[in-house]
Amino acid sequence: MSLKEEINHRKTFAIISHPDAGKTTLTEKFLLFGGAIQTAGAVKSNKITKTAASDFMEIERQRGISVATSVMAFHYRDKLINLLDTPGHKDFAEDTYRTLTAVDSVVLVIDCVKGVEAQTERLMEVCRMRDTPVIVFINKMDLEGQDPFDLLDELETKLDIKVRPLSWPISIGHTFKGVYNLYDKSLNLFDPSKTTIAKDVVQIKDLNDPKLDELVGEHAQQLREDVELIEGVYEDFDPESYMSGEIAPVFFGSAVNNFGVRELLDAFIEIAPTPRSRPTNVRMVEPTEDKFTGFVFKIHANIDPKHRDRIAFLRVCSGKFERNKFFNHVRLEKKMKFANPATFLAQDKSVVEEAFPGDVIGLYDTGNFKIGDTLTEGEQLTFQGIPSFSPEIFKELVNLDPMKSKQLEKGVQQLTDEGVAQLFVRENGNRKIIGTVGELQFEVINYRLEHEYGAKCRFEAKNYFKACWITSSDNQKLNEFKRLKVNDMVIDKDGNDVYLAPSQFLLQMEQQNFPELEFHFTSEFKTKKETA
Ligand code: G4P
């Protein structure tokens, strides 16, 4: 196959949801349809039910370095689909945000009973930042959920995106009869006793066909009215608007009952983008370019201290990756080759000879990579769009064993390279502030520092509201601000100035007092001014 054919053959995406909406269940059904697994229950949920580090550690141990669940590749029809896994726990949301930088589209799962939930909103914000195309799957239609029209309104208002239903439920809950596919005008009837993956659809091109009354009885008239309303209210589905992230097609179903999943997957295959171009600090990179480029979006460490190796997950962006060929590690200005790059087809990990745009490969790493690192065939460019977001919890790291300072230093560096947490260093005195999105990460850091590096520490809570990356074209003002706020100024891992704002009120005050400064809430600065 030519490079172009390889690219057109691939679709790389992630399923995202608020915990419990059905992400794991839908993933499993996709793999069943793709023939990648044979039985239900084969996909291990990476859900952490208790908020305890021990629970997290147990899951990490089970997953081990095989990490087969991080990327699941499978074939469906004539396409190769790379499904990237995202952590289910909200404390690891940052990991999910980074994974979203490596996909070309997402499927967002919503629980029809709960509607749009907190985590759904945050995930969508990240998708909107990058104009990622989104397909919505409204799940659990076998339960007494909200009215589908209300759900669509909620999606539009809370997620700030236009929606267009492509399938429509016939009743809901215990009277749920099935879905009508508005795209290819067919009816899929729901039989709760039948949870096979067989396709069982009836073509009903004209909703006035009396066959509809025979099949769904009293619900036929409601369906006719609903569809009329939909056609009146919503514009025809426009694939271009979906591609540019302006409109999200919506499907209804019940993942656990295997219902509506095939419609979703068939539509995904048809409309979801193939590997797309990506921004770098110097130019856009097109997947069809001959020369290889790629970036690391995730690092998975082996937490067994006897095997301290890690796997860096690299998304191929252009050209062809080849085993044992020298590539350029842009940040380190170093030539590197990889003898055992891994690929993850179905549940097996195997050594791959070559990989193409859209593919994710695992590179064994002894500490050369950090998140966001770029590999090229020589060109000096760095992929953008892998920002750090402001953490929500800040704590100062206190060393409990001065004899182990070196180990602690190394451990903290490596764990923050992996993206477990963000490290900020105070200019005066080299004190370390760790920022995370959840409490669980502090327990994880504590555990790993002790078990992997033999270093003991504790954390002292710091009352900060937000981390703001500070820039200005007025150096004098910048220095004045830094001098005045010396106690709240820190440096991030890349040497950028960061102001840790103690409260929203103080942040707004500083924004007013220093109009010459720009306060950014992600490490990748946008030019527009942001408000607290
Ligand atoms: P997550 O990965 O998004 O956190 O969700 P997951 O798939 O684990 O699903 C959460 C719960 O919702 C599971 O039940 C799952 O069986 C159930 N579920 C998924 N899809 C549907 C659906 O279409 N209808 C109904 N009624 N339930 C659904 P659980 O009791 O937490 O786990 P399990 O014991 O069933 O595995």
**Position 508, amino acid:** Q
What angle, rounded to 10 degrees, do the helices at 118-129 and 148-159 form? Answer: 50
Same domain membership, residue 400 and residue 360: no
Using only C-alpha atoms, the chain has a radius of gyration, in whole angstroms, of: 25
Same domain membership, residue 166 and residue 81: yes
Q: Strand 247-252 relative to strand 162-165: parallel, antiparallel, unpaired?
A: parallel
Going by alpha carbons, the residue nearest to atom 29 of ligand 1 is 20
Query: Is pLDDT at 150 greater than 90 in this prediction?
Result: yes
- Which of 25, 39, 72, 254 to probe ligand 1 with, by most ligand atoms within 8 A of CB? 25
Same domain membership, residue 260 and residue 297: no
Q: Which region, left, alpha or beta, applies to residue 35 given φ > 0 means left and ψ of -120 to 50 means alpha?
A: left
The pLDDT of residue 531 is 44
Residues with CB under 6 A from ligand 1: 17, 19-25, 45, 47, 88, 139-140, 142-143, 254-257
- Which of 16, 20, 112, 190 to probe ligand 1 with, by most ligand atoms within 8 A of CB? 20
In contact, 160 and 126? CB cutoff 8 Å: no
Q: For 319-335, what is the mean pLDDT?
A: 96
The pLDDT of residue 263 is 86
Q: Is 192 a member of any domain?
A: no
Atom of ligand 1 nearest to the CA of 19: 4
Domain boundary among 376, 403, 421: 376
Q: How far is the CA of 113 from the centre of ligand 1 (A)?
A: 13
Q: For 123-143, what is the mean pLDDT?
A: 92
In 3D, which of 244, 172, 180, 243 has the Cα closest to residue 206? 180
The pLDDT of residue 443 is 85
How many Å apart are CA 271 and CA 411, to the nearest integer? Answer: 44
Q: How far is the CA of 176 from the centre of ligand 1 (A)?
A: 18
Q: Kindly indicate the confidence band of residue 308, based on its pLDDT and cuts at 50, 70 and 90.
A: low
The pLDDT of residue 62 is 52
Burial 267-287 (b: 16+ CB within 10 A, else e): bbeebbbbbbebebeeeebbb
Q: For 104-127, what is the mean pLDDT?
A: 92
Query: Is pLDDT at 78 greater than 80 in this prediction?
Result: yes
Instruction: Give the range of the structural domain holding residue 398, as residue numbers without chain letter.
Output: 393-520
Same domain membership, residue 468 and residue 438: yes
Q: What does the angle CA 170 – CA 172 – CA 174 come to, to the nearest 5 degrees?
A: 120
Q: Among 205-219, 276-290, 324-338, name the one with the lowest average pLDDT.
A: 205-219
Q: How far is the CA of 236 from the centre of ligand 1 (A)?
A: 32
How many Å apart are CA 464 and CA 394, to the nearest integer? Answer: 6
What digits encode the pLDDT tens for the residues 497-522? 999 999 999 999 999 999 999 999 88
Query: Is pLDDT at 527 greater than 50 in this prediction?
Result: no
Same domain membership, residue 144 and residue 68: yes
Helices (H) and strands (E) in the chain, counts: 14, 31
- Residue 242: HSE in the Cβ half-sphere, 13 Å Cα cutoff: 25
Query: Is pLDDT at 530 greater than 70 in this prediction?
Result: no
The pLDDT of residue 305 is 58
Q: Kindly indicate the confidence band of residue 465, based on its pLDDT and cuts at 50, 70 and 90.
A: very high
As given in the structure block, the two tokens for residue 396 are: 């100062």
Q: Among 1-15, 42-56, 119-133, 507-521, name the one with the lowest average pLDDT.
A: 42-56
Atom of ligand 1 nearest to the CA of 253: 23
Going by alpha carbons, the residue nearest to atom 27 of ligand 1 is 140
How many Å apart are CA 290 and CA 328, to the nearest integer? Answer: 15
Q: Is 402 a member of any domain?
A: yes
The pLDDT of residue 451 is 84
Q: Is 193 a member of any domain?
A: no
Q: Is 196 a member of any domain?
A: no
The pLDDT of residue 499 is 96
Going by alpha carbons, the residue nearest to atom 16 of ligand 1 is 256
Label residue 435 exposed, middle or buried (CB < 10 Å: 0-12, 13-18, 19+).
buried
Going by alpha carbons, the residue nearest to atom 4 of ligand 1 is 20
Same domain membership, residue 145 and residue 39: yes
Same domain membership, residue 297 and residue 265: no
Going by alpha carbons, the residue nearest to atom 9 of ligand 1 is 22
Q: Kindly indicate the confidence band of residue 423, based on its pLDDT and cuts at 50, 70 and 90.
A: very high
Q: How far is the CA of 22 from the centre of ligand 1 (A)?
A: 5
How many Å apart are CA 18 and CA 47, to the nearest integer? Answer: 11
What's the number of domains the chain is made of?
3
Q: For 306-319, what is the mean pLDDT?
A: 85
What digits encode the pLDDT tens for the residues 354-382? 999 999 998 988 889 988 999 999 999 99
Q: Is 387 a member of any domain?
A: no
Query: Is pLDDT at 63 greater than 70 in this prediction?
Result: no
Q: Kindly indicate the confidence band of residue 470, based on its pLDDT and cuts at 50, 70 and 90.
A: very high
How many Å apart are CA 180 and CA 387, to the nearest integer? Answer: 41
Query: Is pLDDT at 456 greater than 60 in this prediction?
Result: yes
As given in the structure block, the two tokens for residue 390 are: 């402001």
Q: How far is the CA of 63 from the centre of ligand 1 (A)?
A: 21
Q: How far is the CA of 234 from the centre of ligand 1 (A)?
A: 31
**CB within 8 A of 221, min separation 6: which ones?**
none
What digits encode the pLDDT tens for the residues 166-189? 999 988 888 888 888 887 778 777
The better pLDDT of the pair 245, 427 is held by 245
Same domain membership, residue 88 and residue 35: yes
Tell me, what DSSP letter sits at residue 306? T
In 3D, which of 314, 321, 327, 336 has the Cα closest to residue 290? 321
User: Going along 239-392, which residue ranges are E strands?
Assistant: 247-252, 278-279, 284-285, 293-301, 310-318, 321-322, 327-329, 334-336, 342-345, 348-351, 354-355, 360-365, 374-376
The pLDDT of residue 184 is 78
Going by alpha carbons, the residue nearest to atom 35 of ligand 1 is 256
Domain boundary among 244, 271, 298: 271
Query: Is pLDDT at 350 greater than 90 in this prediction?
Result: no
Q: Is 303 a member of any domain?
A: yes
What digits encode the pLDDT tens for the residues 286-301? 999 999 999 999 888 7
Q: What does the angle CA 69 – CA 360 – CA 523 come to, to the nearest 5 degrees?
A: 95
Same domain membership, residue 351 and residue 406: no
Residue 285, domain CATH: 3.40.50.300
In contact, 311 and 300? CB cutoff 8 Å: yes
What digits encode the pLDDT tens for the residues 407-416? 999 999 888 8
The pLDDT of residue 226 is 93
Same domain membership, residue 447 and residue 343: no
Q: For 487-496, what is the mean pLDDT?
A: 90
In 3D, which of 83, 70, 19 has the Cα closest to residue 47? 19
Same domain membership, residue 427 and residue 371: no
Q: How far is the CA of 67 from the centre of ligand 1 (A)?
A: 22
The pLDDT of residue 156 is 95
The better pLDDT of the pair 306, 73 is held by 73
Q: Is 317 a member of any domain?
A: yes
Inter-residue long-range contacts of 35-42, CB under 8 Å, 24+ positions, other chains counted: 35/74, 35/75, 36/72, 36/73, 36/74, 36/75, 36/345, 36/346, 36/347, 37/346, 37/347, 42/347
SS (H, E, C) 246-258: CEEEEEECEHHHC
As given in the structure block, the two tokens for residue 393 are: 């919890």
Average pLDDT, the chain: 85
Same domain membership, residue 166 and residue 312: no
Q: How far is the CA of 391 from the centre of ligand 1 (A)?
A: 30
The pLDDT of residue 44 is 52
Q: Kindly indicate the confidence band of residue 214, based on its pLDDT and cuts at 50, 70 and 90.
A: confident
The pLDDT of residue 193 is 63
The pLDDT of residue 42 is 53
Q: How far is the CA of 262 from the centre of ligand 1 (A)?
A: 18
Domain boundary among 343, 376, 409: 376
The pLDDT of residue 383 is 93
**CB within 8 A of 333, min separation 6: which ones?**
none
Atom of ligand 1 nearest to the CA of 109: 3
Kind and range of the H or E element at 170?
Answer: strand 167-170
Residue 452, domain CATH: 3.30.70.3280
CA 197 to chain centre: 27
The pLDDT of residue 134 is 97
What percent of the chain shows pLDDT beyond 70? 86
What percent of the chain shows pLDDT beyond 90? 51
The pLDDT of residue 528 is 36
Whole-prediction pTM: 0.84
The pLDDT of residue 97 is 83
Q: Is 204 a member of any domain?
A: no
